[in-house]
Amino acid sequence: YTPTPNTVWISTLGLDRVAEPTSNNNYPSLTSVGFPSILEQGGVDRMPGIIMENSAFTPLYSQCCVDTKFAHTLLNYSSAFTWTVGQQTLQFGFGQWQFWNNFFQPSYPTGYFAFSRFQTSETPYSTNGGTQGNDSADVLLGWGDYGGIQILPEVGDKSKETDFYVQDDWRPTSKLTLNFGLRYQWFTPYKERHNLSQFSDFNGNSGISVPGFGTLKGTTIFASSSMRRSPIDWGGVEPRLGFAYLVNPKLVIRGGAGIYAGYP
C-alpha cells in the first residue's frame, strides 16, 4: 500500500499447515494367530510384537512406531512501513512467528513380548550362562523374558518468536550509504498443552548445600498450569551498523557489524 509517493506499507500473512494421520487396519487379530481372546478385554485388539533380545535374531513380528500421527501449523505475519525523506530512507516494522506441533508415536500400540536366550540356557536367568540358549527356542516353549504395553501420550507444543526493528539508510553523498538499525526480539520457549514437559532452571535452588561452596544452583522443573515453559530471554537487543561505497559502477564496497546484547 502506498499512502503517499514517498511512503510504502507492506504487510504479509503466511500459513503453513501439515497433517499426516496414519492408520492401517491390515494387522492380524489376536485369535487369528493363536492368542487367547481374553487378552482383548484389556484393550489389545491386534497381534502384539514378538521381538528378540539377541540382535542376531530377526523379530517374528514388529509393529514399532507404525501408528505415528503428527500435525504442525506455522503462522507468520509481519508489517513494515518505509518512508523516504530527502537522502534518508526510514523503515519501521515488526513480525511474529507462531508454531504449533502435535506428535503421537506409540512404540508398541498393542504391546509386545520379548524373548531372550537365557530361558533355555543351562541355568535359566543365570549370568553365568554365557552364550547358551536360543531366542527362537524360547518362543517355541512360550517362555518369554518380559513384555508389556508402553503408554506414550500425544504431545502438543507451542512456541513463538517476536521482533520489532527500525532502520535508517542515509546517503550523505552520491557514492556513500550508511545503515543504522536497531532490532529487539524475544523467543517464547515451547510449552506443552498437557503439561507433560520438563525444563531446567539454572538459577533455581537445588536444595543441596556443599561446604565451601554454599547452596548449589540448578534444578529441573516439571510443567504445571502455573509454570508451563522455561523463562523468556528479554535481552534480545541488536544494534547494527553498515555502509556501502560506490567506487565505480562495477565495484561496490560493503561492510557492517551487529551486536547481540542478550543473556549468555
Read off the pLDDT of residues 218-227 as tens digits, 9 standing for 90 and up. 888 888 878 8
- Which of the given ranges, 22-31, 91-100, 182-191, has the highest pLDDT on average? 91-100
CA angle 78, 83, 84 (to 5 degrees): 140
User: Taking 50 as the threshold, does the pLDDT of residue 229 lie above it?
Assistant: yes
- Give mean pLDDT, residues 177-193: 91
Bigger pLDDT: 251 vs 16: 16
**Three-class DSSP category at 55:** coil
pTM of structure: 0.67
Write out pLDDT tens, residues 118-157.
778 777 666 664 567 788 888 888 888 888 877 778 888 9
- Scanning the structure block, which residue is given the C-alpha cell 517362555? 143
Is residue 44 within 8 Å of residue 110, measured between CB atoms?
A: yes
How many CB atoms lie under 10 A from the CB of residue 61? 14
Express as a percent the part of the chain with pLDDT over 90.
31
- pLDDT of 263 reads 42
Please give the mean pLDDT across all residues of the chain: 85
Q: Counting beta carbons within 10 angstroms of the beta carbon of residue 47, is it exposed (0 to 12), middle (13 to 18) or buried (19 or more)?
A: buried
Residue 62's pLDDT band, with cuts at 50, 70 and 90, is confident
User: Taking 70 as the threshold, does the pLDDT of residue 48 lie above it?
Assistant: yes
Bigger pLDDT: 237 vs 41: 237
Express as a percent the part of the chain with pLDDT over 70.
93
User: Taking 80 as the threshold, does the pLDDT of residue 55 lie above it?
Assistant: no
Please give the full DSSP string across 4-27, using - where no structure is assigned: STTEEEEEEEEEEEEEE------P
